[in-house]
Structure 1
């Protein structure tokens, strides 16, 4: 119950984080859109009402006539009809002569920027009408008559209420559309993220529903990111399954294989105690042979467990097979197994590099050599070679080797040949095969012109970093 609750909490947290990121992006985008909408609305309102101001000022300027050498303005109603669209705004105007003298209108509308005589195009400026912000425009009408020559300046102003209302209306409309679009995107993102996370939830549920001892691979379906995670989990479960399998085999093998030798040793020891003195040397000799056989069995069982453990836990490193062959020979274990057997070393001057674990390779080669010493014919040789892009380490004896039917069974756990004298545990070549499988290699057993050879072949590494 606690595990399920924890997983669900993690899923909700992941969803909330993603949704929080999406919401943040939408919020930042909304702020940018609002600022842009406000700027656009303000600019659009300014351009629209500025045109109305220019139209009104132009109408007033067109109504000016020169009477007895004096400009006279007959203000048309149409001029203020344009400004009536903004019914809540205040309006002011002024008509001034060439020297800035007020001819008609309000004195407060006098332009405050620059010299009026310098104005040749409609000129906009900001000021105030009775302490309220306003927008003004000044247009010029030039007269060149006999009794009057010069510029007449018409200034029209309007407060900003309608402009601000239009800008806010445009901004509000954009905000509503943006908000609705953001909500739609947020809901869409929620359902898309939930859909994308569904394979994770399904995988979590499958893991929770599994038996604790079920380490079979999980089905790799769903998005590519989930498939990568499932493959990684399957590889981990595969390694764990091999470790658990090795442990189970070790326990079952120990329970099954040690029962008979231990019983035999106990029986020989009891007979040695109860038998007369004439048969004591024979009893002790059998007891020693049984003890040696038990020791060999234990060594090979532990060796096989070590090889399987290191194949999943020790990372492969570049190894020179010549060093492995030389070390196995220098350990001199063969002198204990077969004191009178000659063992030759046949390695060249060229490195034979493979990517593997040196300890596992050493255990494999030791078992290959022990197998040749027990069942082969002297002399025995251990050597290395390269063949078709593969590094090889081999053990060869001068015998003819086992028959074809025996070759098919050799390499299986606890499989002994008919020629075995009882000292073999049947695990030697099984260890060699386990090492070969761990490092993408293979095991070949062939008859040669000079005897019988067992070869451990691994992919050859041509580029090796020197230490």
Structure 2
């Protein structure tokens, strides 16, 4: 399954990050609009309560030693609305004694000022209650009293809904406009990314030329990163083409020699000539097989996807096994092959076949270039693998060149020029440091010591 099937698009992610906060903010604005509408409705109707209580207070008089009022119908009519609220009023003296009214309304204990308001539950009804503290206007008798006026909340709720609906319609219109602007803005902002994607898709897969597009600064950095990647790929392809050319040349030469030798042997009638030809062909076949094996090893090292997982291995076992594998061929060539290891195991995090391949190539190189004594050694502090020989060595000026594929350390050598290149690749794969130094600096020949220093953090 393609990895883009289930992954969210950048367009969708941007919309989510922009629209979700906008929706949350819009919800908060709607809640605030509702409370603002309710407060506005309360203030409007509270003024009606205040006006009605003032009209009632102006009608309060003292008659026959008691408070008395003649309530005009207009005082209560001003509280009525289309919602047909129920209206209540009451007059109380300074001692909280009910004097007159159509309902005995409760007092308001808290608050200050001549007029106070509160919401109450009274006989299973929700009321808005206003209480006015006043006194008689006469200069002889300024007896205090309270006028309590209340009505049900139908009119307030109707006005709240009307105000809120108006605010909600305006907010919805603004939200739709904002969403449209966000959708258009995100699409326009991502247009350069779409252009970059189309330019990449339209490219010839065989070309590695750099991208040339005018892009915003953030995408220009991505373009430069892609161009850097393409430049590295061009270098890799050039190296691969050079490697393929060298490999084909290296393989074509021994194969052509085999064909020519076989053709020459077929023209002979002497069985001994055939036997000599078969011996030469066998040697050429061995060299060709060795070359093919080294080419495969180098190819595996250059492919990071085929890199196996490193494990803890004993370097002493690797060194002993490499000596055992090469002992027979070295013995036939008259080469003294030995191994030096500590008495205990030396554990290293590594890939076993790669280290075995490195030691095999180092032993093979030393035997091909004139060594009569080869020693494989395992060391500690720091952990290291080394192969030392008494051959002609490698001049200092050549030590970097011999790490290149198909470069031979000396003219007329029998090697393919891949051994040290493979060892260098294995060293880099293990983050190890590869050094080539004379085994005996003041002797002639100086010999060669090839050493792999492993990093301390990878040592168990």
Q: Name the TM-score class by shorter chain.
A: 0.7 to 0.9
Q: Establish whether residue 425 from structure 1 lines up as the match of residue 416 from structure 2.
A: yes
Q: Which of residues 363, 366, 369 is equivalent to 1:369?
A: 363
- Pairing 1:3-42 to 2, within 5 Å after superposition: 14-16=10-12, 18-19=14-15, 22-42=18-38
8 Å CA contact 1:311, 1:438 repeated in 2? no
Cα-to-partner distance string for 1:159-179 (whole Å, 9 max, x where unaligned):
657634653465356435644
In the alignment, structure 1 residue 347 sits paired with structure 2 residue 338: no
Other structure's SS at 1:285 match:
helix
Q: Does 2:103 align with 1:110?
A: yes
Query: Which shows bigger deviation, 366-375 or 162-171?
Result: 162-171
Counterpart of 2:111? none
Q: What SS class does the counterpart of residue 314 from structure 1 fall into?
A: coil
Q: Against the structure 1 CA distance between its residues 452 and 78, is the aligned structure 2 distance closer, same or farther, given a 3 Å change threshold? A: farther
Residues 436 and 456 in structure 1, CA contact (< 8 A), matched pair in contact too: no
- Which stretch shifts more, 175-184 or 148-157? 148-157
Question: Which of residues 400, 408, 411 is equivalent to 1:416?
Answer: 408
Contact 1:246 1:305 in 2 (8 A): no
Q: Deviations over 1:73-103 (max 9, x none)?
A: 255899679x58979977956555777564x
Aligned to 1:326: 320
Task: Sort the Cα spacing of 1:381 and 1:124 in 2 relative to 1 into closer, same or farther, 3 A.
Answer: closer
Matches within 5 A, 1:61-460: 61-73=57-69, 83=78, 94=89, 96=91, 100=98, 102=100, 109-111=102-104, 124=118, 135-139=128-132, 154-157=147-150, 163-164=156-157, 166-168=159-161, 170-172=163-165, 174-175=167-168, 178-179=171-172, 182-183=175-176, 185-187=178-180, 189-190=182-183, 193-194=186-187, 197-198=190-191, 200-214=193-207, 252-253=245-246, 255-277=248-270, 279-309=273-303, 313-317=307-311, 321-330=315-324, 332-339=325-332, 340-348=334-342, 356-385=350-379, 391-403=383-395, 407=399, 409-418=401-410, 420=412, 423-449=414-440, 451-460=446-455
The 2-side partners of 1:246 and 1:327 are apart by 34
Cα offset for 1:57? Answer: 1.2
RMSD: 5.2
Between the aligned partners of 1:158 and 1:40, the Cα distance in structure 2 is 21
The 1:177/1:229 distance shift into structure 2, 3 A limit, reads farther
The Cα shift of 1:408 comes to 5.8
In structure 2, C-alpha distance between the alignment counterparts of 1:386 and 1:417, rounded to whole Å: 29
Q: CA deviation at 1:380?
A: 0.8
**Separation in structure 2 between the aligned mates of residue 400 and residue 452 of structure 1, nearest angstrom:** 5
- In 1, the alpha carbon distance for the partners of 2:354 and 2:448 equals 20
Pairs aligned (count)? 443
Name the CA distance, whole Å, in 2 between partners of 1:232 and 1:360. Answer: 33
Following TM superposition, by how much is the alpha carbon of 1:72 offset from its aligned partner in structure 2, in angstroms? 3.0
TM-superposed CA distance for 1:414, in Å, is 2.4
Structure 1: 5+ residue stretches without partners: none
Asked if the contact 1:247/1:305 (under 8 Å) is kept, the reply is no
Give me the whole-angstrom Cα distance separating, in 2, the residues matched to 1:167 and 1:70: 42
What TM-score, normalized to structure 2? Answer: 0.73
